[in-house]
Amino acid sequence: MKKLLCFGLLSLLLSIGCKEEIPTVPESPAVKQISRGADISFLPEIEESGIQFYDQNGVASSMVDIIKKYGVNTIRLRLWHTPENGHSGLREVSDFTKILKAKGFKIFITIHYSDTWADPGNQTKPSAWENLSLSVLGDSVYNYTKQVVEILNPDIIEIGNEISNGFLWPEGKISNESNFIMLLKKGIAGARAATIDKRKILIHSAKLDVSNWFYSILQTNNVDYDIIGVSYYPFWTKIKPQQAVDELMALSNTFGKDAMFAEISYPFTLNWNDFTNNVIGLEEQLLTGYPATPAGQKLILTELRQAIDKTNKGIGFCYWAPEWVAFKGNQSTSGSSWENLALFDFDNKALPAWDAFKE
């Protein structure tokens, strides 16, 4: 018995001594989650018109199911405070968000803090807040943001839309830095205070060339946010996808944040499908090497996607208004100014550029 015990002890000691020689299987690197997004805020209104969308094979389907099939995993929706016709208001956005979540999409909400479009040239306060004092305006921003986040429970919440010139004008203009920062922090605090799952806060700059200056202001004032979001419209910036991604990553490195393109778009044609003046329609507006063709549109999105995928802190992109077809008919003067920048052709068939969204 003693000999057996000694042999067992010797075996144990030998096994311990040889432990470090046992080969191990290395852990697989974490796969970066890329937001392949689409801002389809017009879709509820478009669907009321009875428009039918088709996939790349010409098969009729719901637009949401089509883009899900092609790899979109995040939906961005704008939120207006008290819109005149109800579209993009809280009720519509809430109802639409429930449908989208049930289909497995992540939700990205951009609060415009306005009853209508908010952008670098327009940041009009909601009419309900028009005569509020600055302190009450700040409280309203806090309470409204908290309510919105609790109702919608988004994965990403954007405080203001393209706010590099400020928001909630005139009080919140960027030129009045102390007011702007106070109102921005009120919105962020409201989002953080919402008693739901944690969500990421994105701050959105209109253009790459003003972004370093803009985010420096946020850094100086200790603004608490998670994601840098920048609009990239190649027909205005005239810079190619790789350069745009390089500049985005420079911002990410400087300010220590994840970063994404919150809005992007490019035309597949310079023609039109209704009598509404289009935003883009001239050859000189195009980026050299990227024609306004289905192939040119796909090329620019593919290059952008590939460049983002190679970064460490680039977390995605979001195509703006891929669904904004000429849904009011080809004679309308108040239809779509964007139908040649959509990701559906003039027959509402999905374009090749959707391939850039695939896994």
Mean predicted lDDT score pLDDT of the chain: 92
**CA–CA separation, 159 and 105 (whole Å):** 20
The predicted pLDDT at position 32 comes to: 62
Residue 135's CB: how many other CB atoms inside 10 A?
A: 10
Catalytic residue among 92, 158, 247, 263: 263
pLDDT < 70: residue spans in the chain: 1-32
**CA–CA separation, 347 and 324 (whole Å):** 13
Contact between residue 290 and residue 229 where contact means Cβ atoms under 8 Å apart: no
Quick: pLDDT tens for 264-297: 999 999 999 999 999 999 999 999 999 999 999 9
Catalytic residue among 162, 247, 303, 339: 162
The predicted pLDDT at position 165 comes to: 98
Nearest of 282, 272, 290, 278 to residue 234 by alpha carbon: 290
- 20 belongs to the catalytic site: no
**CA–CA separation, 268 and 332 (whole Å):** 21
Helix (H, G, I), strand (E, B) or coil at 16: helix
- 162 belongs to the catalytic site: yes
The predicted pLDDT at position 211 comes to: 97
Quick: pLDDT tens for 230-268: 999 999 999 999 999 999 999 999 999 999 999 999 999
Contact between residue 338 and residue 278 where contact means Cβ atoms under 8 Å apart: yes
The predicted pLDDT at position 347 comes to: 98
For the chain, the farthest-separated pair of C-alpha atoms sits apart, in whole angstroms, at 101
Q: What is the DSSP letter of 320?
A: E
Domains in the chain with CATH codes: 31-357 (3.20.20.80)
The predicted pLDDT at position 24 comes to: 37
Q: What is the DSSP letter of 344?
A: B
User: Could you identify the residue written with the tokens 């063709």?
Assistant: 293
The predicted pLDDT at position 6 comes to: 36
Q: What is the DSSP letter of 71?
A: T
Strands 74-79 and 60-61: unpaired
pTM above 0.85, yes or no: yes
